[in-house]
Amino acid sequence: MPNDLWLSIGAILPIIVLAVWACLLLLVDLFIPAQRKGWTASLAAVGLLITLAVILSRLGQSQSGFGGMVMVDNFANFLSILLLASGLAAIALSHDYLQRTGIERGEYYVLLLFSISGMMLMGMASDLIMVFLALELLSIPLYVLAGIAVPRLNSEEAAIKYFLLGAFASGFLVYGTALVYGASGSTSIAKIVQVIQAGQHNLTLLLAGAGLILVGLGFKVAVAPFHMWTPDVYQGAPSSVTAFMAVGAKAAGFAALLRIFVLAFPVVSLDMTPVLWSVAALTMILGNFVAIAQKNIKRLLAYSSIAHAGYILMALTPYGQSNVSADSVASALFYLVAYALTNFAAWAVVIALEQADERGLELSDYAGLGRKQPALAAAMTVAMLSFTGVPPTLGFVGKFFLFRTVIEGGFIGLALIGVLTSLVSAYYYLRVVVIMYMQEGEPVVRRDGWLYATAFVSSIGVVALSIFAGPLIALASRAILNLF
């Protein structure tokens, strides 16, 4: 076998390990009794830990593979670690939930592993065709997972909506890739940069392609006006799937956006800046204001997810300016970690209160939680404060980092919108806290060790990492995007 092929296989070795493990798990699950599917969950977690060990063993190394179609650098490794940790949290949230809702199936965990492998590939993709392949690999399992609660009608509806709109968005991505190819003669990010630096590109086609790629990936990260699927899918899909989707799909989508726009498209930054500014502002405003009207906790967190996509997108607005491009990437990655920890803390509490017949999802169902389950209420309080951006939480540090980057880029107006919408968000986040502590009720809470562990570890991490944020900021700052 040629040496280059071995090097290429080595570049994507963690993805190969995870995909092969998923295939083997699919076979092994056939011999696991229906009442012992916890074994499948444990084996899936082992696969994630093995993959994590492979990545940790080669931290600091950079290499490309398959003719530059994938790039393994600190950026890709940082995201892979985040995605694998998110997968472990998703498995911890899933086992008890799947049992009590009657949808426990071994293929659930296999699909989860395949989706994570696609997300990891998205972080490594250094070619627009590879971005598309990674997007499909991560999306198709998620479409199935959204509808895995059959014959529950809202789960089937969520899967259909997610699939149809996802396919539509993929069309935009493919069309944008075709236009970029027409403008530069290549789909490789490195070669696109070379063509642009030589002045041999067609700016009109390049700008149109960049816009369509933004639309395609904007759907995946749920920024307005490409967010329409989010509330219905978040509400209809099983809650454990929604919790993972909210973190994994968003992180993978922003991984592609950051690599493509920061590396390949700085030449169109002046033309794209008003678009990115408008989309980020619209997303923050729409997500936060519409969330005020929500009475269902899953829909509230869906619009919260939309709003936080707007905050992360702010980091891309000044991407064309060399003095802030590194901070743009670092602030976005740091905020993704803050959002992931906060998200899992909140969803662990949501799943603990959700009943098999889908009761327990209204905000009124949280009344009395502070008295009956003070530890869970404390975890939810930490999550709500972190979403708002109140110290001492990781959400505050993340927003401070983001707003500083945007202000240094000269976009004070956008930062001001971010601050004002954060104040608006305090209304609906703190409303959950008020209901938990100041209203009488008898919430029905599921007692599960893994749910509690996820809620407590995530909420403690949200507070502890905000106090000792230096090492995490340093790691995010070293997660540099490599071109070659």
Query: Which residues does 278 contact at the CB level (< 8 Å), separation at least 6?
Result: none
Q: What pLDDT does residue 484 have?
A: 58
Q: What pLDDT does residue 321 have?
A: 53
Q: What pLDDT does residue 463 have?
A: 95
* Mean pLDDT of successive 10-residue stretches along the chain, which has 484 residues: 72 92 93 84 94 90 84 91 95 89 87 95 92 93 91 88 91 94 89 84 88 92 89 92 93 91 76 88 95 93 94 81 66 93 94 83 90 92 94 92 88 93 94 92 82 92 92 87 66
Q: How many CA atoms lie within 13 A of 204 on its CB side?
A: 0
Burial label, 153 (beta-carbon count in 10 A; 0-12, 13-18, 19+)? exposed
Please answer whether residues 246 and 222 qualify as being in contact, where contact means their C-beta atoms are separated by less than 8 angstroms: no
pTM of the shown model: 0.94
Residue 125, φ and ψ in degrees, nearest 5: -60, 125
Residue listed under structure tokens 């060990």: 53
Q: How far are the Cα atoms of 155, 317, 322 from residue 76, in angstroms, in the given order?
A: 32, 21, 21
Q: What pLDDT does residue 420 have?
A: 96
Q: How far are the Cα atoms of 210, 288, 404, 423 from residue 464, in angstroms, in the given order?
A: 39, 27, 22, 23
**Amino acid code (one letter) for 241:** V
Residue 296, φ and ψ in degrees, nearest 5: -100, 130
d(CA 237, CA 268): 38
Q: What pLDDT does residue 262 have?
A: 83
Residue 373, φ and ψ in degrees, nearest 5: -135, 75
d(CA 456, CA 462): 10
